Amino acid sequence: MVLLLVAAGCSSGNASRRGGGSLEARAEELEQSNQALREQLRQKDAQVEQSFASATQAENAAGLQNLGCTAVMPAKAAPKGMPRSGEVHARLGLTHQSYRMTATFSSPRNTGNWRVAPGTCTVASP
């Protein structure tokens, strides 16, 4: 009976060594998979940085930093709450992306039936 227990212990030890090799192989596979995923992430980060740089360059080339803008209102109505500066309640949509517009206006002047206040607008990314 003692021999039987010793033999069973030896066979289970061999099985655990075989299983350990399988675990090491699986761990190696997972490490290789993780390395491939890290490389993909590094490539995506580089693409995002390049895209951001291209978008910034295009915005600057398009002159979205100092646009001329004008506030227009009827001359007979008092200009209630027309902002002199700050965020205007307007959004500009370019290439499926919305941009916030900030404006600074000078004093309004009458032009026929209208009051016109020229200003400068800056378009900012969301």
Annotated domain spans of the chain: 1-62, 64-126
Mean pLDDT is lowest, of 8-12, 98-102, 107-111, for 8-12
Map residue 108 onto helix, strand or coil: coil
* Per-residue confidence band for 41, with pLDDT thresholds at 50, 70 and 90: very high
Rounded mean pLDDT, 78-98: 59
Per-residue pLDDT averaged across 48-52, rounded? 84
Mean pLDDT of 5-31: 69
Query: What is the pLDDT averaged over residues 33-61?
Result: 86
Indicate the pLDDT class of residue 32, thresholds 50, 70 and 90: very high
Which residues on adjacent β-strands are paired with residue 105? 119
In angstroms, rounded to a whole number, what is the distance separating the alpha carbons of residues 51 and 125? Answer: 14
Q: Please name the helix (run of DSSP H) or strand (run of DSSP E) that holds residue 98, with its range, or none.
A: strand 97-105
State the average pLDDT over residues 48-64: 75
Alpha helices in the chain (DSSP H): 2-62
Residue 126 has pLDDT above 70, yes or no: no
Which residues fall within 8 angstroms of residue 84, CB to CB, at 6 or more apart?
104, 105
* Gap between the Cα atoms of 82 and 2, Å rounded: 98
Average pLDDT over residues 11-15: 53
Cα gap 36→28, rounded to integer Å = 12
* Between 121 and 13, the higher pLDDT residue: 121
Residue 106 neighbours by CB under 8 Å, 6+ apart = 117, 118, 119
The stretch 40-66 carries a mean pLDDT of 80
Between 13 and 76, name the one with better pLDDT: 76
Q: Is 4 exposed, middle or buried (0-12, 13-18, 19+ CB in 10 A)?
A: exposed
Side chain identity at residue 18, one-letter code: R
3-state secondary structure (DSSP) of residue 125: coil
Rounded to an integer, the average pLDDT of 96-120 is 79
